[in-house]
């Protein structure tokens, strides 16, 4: 091939004694979707930060359009045509769409350096929105009025104003609804046809199959292989990524169904939502499915006491539990693995030790009310070993772990509370295939040890692969309670869209 835009050869990067990249090669062609695939902690984010100038490489060579280059900072990357869209969008909701598109690069009137050329910015923003299949009138609307999918497109519009030749997309569909995902796919395909190269990071193998041209696989900091999507099988990608065969994507175990362990009676999240009644038994994993906005997370937050409920009772082992705050929920034996691990699940600037022990501090106090730091250290180390959290350093702040390992830290935190009821809200969003299997096996273990597991997920194969029963919600209402034998994607979607 002669259309290489970006080449990276033998790239290495270390942080103290942590060797993150160990001689990685990458070649990105014009007009291709090049996927970077690897487990959490494989080095994907570090490689991207070197491309964008956020990190400098320790050793190796970079070429841009065939010429050697050293990108010293993000401004230099943008200047040559490299743009990045991160999972956490870099936008300001209070500003208009056009203001976000030109933020930091505002156009000014000639000869009047103090005055912004709003007319020109609006005109260009309208053209960009139309190019991306959106209503050009959105240019003057506050960004806060747009859905998450449209906000993603605003980020893409920002990239196009840079005349981007390489667009890096990091888990771009992780927070989008089904319709928004389809719209984004169309835009990616359109940009590819225009000759823009896209570096695409995703753990969703189905979308890699649909969009990707080539895949570069990273494992433990090494570049394992670059392969064609069309001529290789998904199982082969997984083997390259994790270094072993995953015989079971969903390692579901069956347990004998026991007595009722957890119940809701006439439970109303708000005055307007109908009451919910449900029983969950020992020995079963119960999934809650539904479209975005169906009320699944709102139900979980009300159970956990994070949000007020309008009415109703919560029972654990037949006993009523008074829960009006997260502290009361924790004391009652409820754990809530939240959808947003970074803002709700972790304190990013505290160590793994403190994050793991935070909800259970009373367990680590001596008779003199002093914290037993050694006991906290030992407990965190125990969970690090058990859950194979990497890098294996319990002193690291939570923000220094990859997404999948952050999720493991969150799970360790709740294991430390010895909870009886575990509510998992989108537990595998944004983590790799290998880490997903580890989470599923942990769910099996919890059920085997007598815990109750409730899993909220937008991933229907995950629901069907791991659950014994599926509850479906629509507009805050429970519209179906399906034994897994009766649950199909079609039946679930019907209940989610049409109701009972």
In contact, 406 and 398? CB cutoff 8 Å: yes
pLDDT over 90 at 370, yes or no: no
The residue-averaged pLDDT of 409-431 equals 92
- Whether 112 has a pLDDT exceeding 80, the answer reads no
pLDDT-above-90 percentage for the chain? 65
Looking at residue 113, its pLDDT comes to 59
Q: Examine the pLDDT at 151 and tell me if it is beyond 90.
A: no
Tell me the per-residue pLDDT of 303-325, one tens digit each, with 9 for 90 and over.
999 999 999 999 999 999 999 99
Average pLDDT over residues 71-79: 93
CATH topology of domain 260-498: Rossmann fold (3.40.50)
219: Cβ contacts below 8 Å, ≥ 6 apart: 38, 39, 42, 240, 241, 242, 243
Per-domain boundaries in the chain: 4-242, 260-498
Which residue do the tokens 């020995």 mark? 283
Of 90, 126, 125, 83, the residue nearest 106 (C-alpha): 125
Q: Tokens 């006993």 appear where?
A: 319
Instruction: Report yes or no: 309 and 269 within 8 Å, Cβ to Cβ.
Output: yes
Q: CB–CB of 479/467 below 8 Å?
A: no
Rounded to 5°, the CA angle 120-123-128 comes to 125
Contacting residues for 93 by C-beta, under 8 A, at least 6 apart: 142, 143, 144
Stretch among 198-207, 220-229, 407-416 having the lowest mean pLDDT: 198-207
Residue 477 has pLDDT above 80, yes or no: yes
Instruction: Indicate the burial class of 49 (C-beta count within 10 angstroms; 0-12, 13-18, 19 or more).
Output: middle
**Residue 182 pLDDT exceeds 80:** yes
CATH architecture of the domain with range 4-242: 3-Layer(aba) Sandwich (3.40)
- Predicted confidence at residue 114, as pLDDT, reads 66
In this chain, the answer to whether the domains covering 4-242 and 260-498 adopt an identical fold is yes
Let me know how long the chain is: 500
Please give the average per-residue pLDDT across 326-347, as a whole number. Answer: 93
pLDDT in tens, 211-234: 999 999 999 899 999 999 999 998
Mean pLDDT across 292-296:
85
**Weakest-pLDDT range from 9-13, 170-174, 231-235:** 170-174
Check pLDDT > 90 for residue 473: yes
Reported as a pLDDT band with limits 50, 70 and 90, residue 1 is very low
Average pLDDT over the chain reads 90
Number of H helices, E strands in the chain: 16, 22
Separation of alpha carbons 125 and 157, rounded Å:
8
DSSP string covering 428-478, please?
A: TTT--HHHHHHHHHHHHHHHHTT-EEEEE-S-HHHHHHH-SEEEEEETTEE
Judged by DSSP in three states, 69 sits in coil
């Amino acid at each position: 091939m002669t259309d290489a835009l970006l080449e990276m050869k033998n790239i290495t990067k270390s942080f103290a004694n942590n060797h993150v990249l160990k001689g990685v090669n990458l070649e990105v062609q014009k007009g291709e979707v090049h996927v970077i695939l690897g487990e959490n902690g494989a080095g994907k984010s570090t490689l991207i930060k070197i491309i964008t100038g956020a990190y400098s490489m320790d050793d190796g060579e970079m070429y841009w359009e065939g010429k050697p280059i050293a990108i010293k900072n993000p401004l230099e990357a943008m200047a040559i045509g490299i743009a990045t869209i991160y999972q956490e969008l870099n936008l300001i909701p209070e500003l208009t769409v056009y203001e976000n598109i030109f933020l930091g690069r505002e156009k000014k009137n000639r000869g009047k350096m103090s005055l912004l050329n709003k007319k020109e910015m609006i005109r260009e923003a309208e053209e960009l929105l139309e190019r991306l299949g959106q209503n050009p009138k959105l240019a003057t609307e506050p960004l806060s009025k747009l859905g998450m999918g449209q906000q993603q497109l605003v980020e893409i519009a920002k990239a196009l104003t840079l005349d981007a030749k390489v667009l890096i997309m990091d888990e771009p569909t992780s927070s989008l609804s089904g319709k928004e995902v389809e719209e984004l796919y169309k835009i990616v395909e359109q940009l590819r046809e225009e000759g823009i190269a896209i570096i695409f990071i995703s753990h969703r193998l189905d979308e890699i199959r649909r969009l990707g041209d080539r895949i570069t696989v990273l494992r433990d900091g090494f570049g394992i292989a670059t392969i064609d999507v069309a001529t290789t099988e998904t199982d082969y990608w997984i083997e390259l990524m994790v270094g072993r065969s995953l015989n079971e994507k969903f390692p579901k175990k069956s347990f004998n169904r026991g007595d009722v362990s957890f119940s809701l009676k006439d439970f109303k999240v708000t005055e307007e939502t109908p009451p919910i009644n449900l029983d969950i038994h020992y020995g079963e994993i119960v999934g809650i499915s539904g479209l975005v906005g169906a009320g699944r997370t709102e139900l979980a937050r009300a159970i956990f006491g994070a949000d007020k409920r309008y009415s109703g009772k919560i029972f654990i082992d037949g006993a009523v539990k008074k829960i009006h705050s997260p502290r009361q929920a924790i004391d009652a034996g409820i754990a809530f693995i939240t959808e947003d691990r970074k803002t709700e699940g972790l304190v990013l600037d505290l160590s793994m030790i403190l994050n793991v022990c935070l909800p259970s501090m009373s367990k680590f106090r001596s008779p003199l009310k002093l914290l037993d730091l050694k006991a906290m250290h030992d407990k965190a180390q125990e969970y690090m070993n058990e859950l194979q959290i990497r890098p294996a350093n319990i002193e690291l702040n939570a923000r220094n772990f990859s997404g999948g390992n952050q999720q493991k830290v969150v799970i360790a935190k709740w294991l430390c509370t010895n909870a009886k009821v575990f509510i998992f809200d989108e537990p595998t969003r944004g983590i790799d295939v290998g880490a997903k299997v580890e989470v599923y096996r942990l769910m099996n273990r919890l059920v085997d040890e007598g815990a109750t597991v409730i899993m909220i997920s937008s991933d229907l194969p995950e629901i069907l692969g791991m659950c014994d029963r599926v509850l479906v919600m629509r507009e805050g209402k429970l519209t179906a309670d399906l034994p897994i034998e009766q649950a199909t994607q079609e039946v679930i979607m019907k209940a989610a869209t049409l109701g009972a």
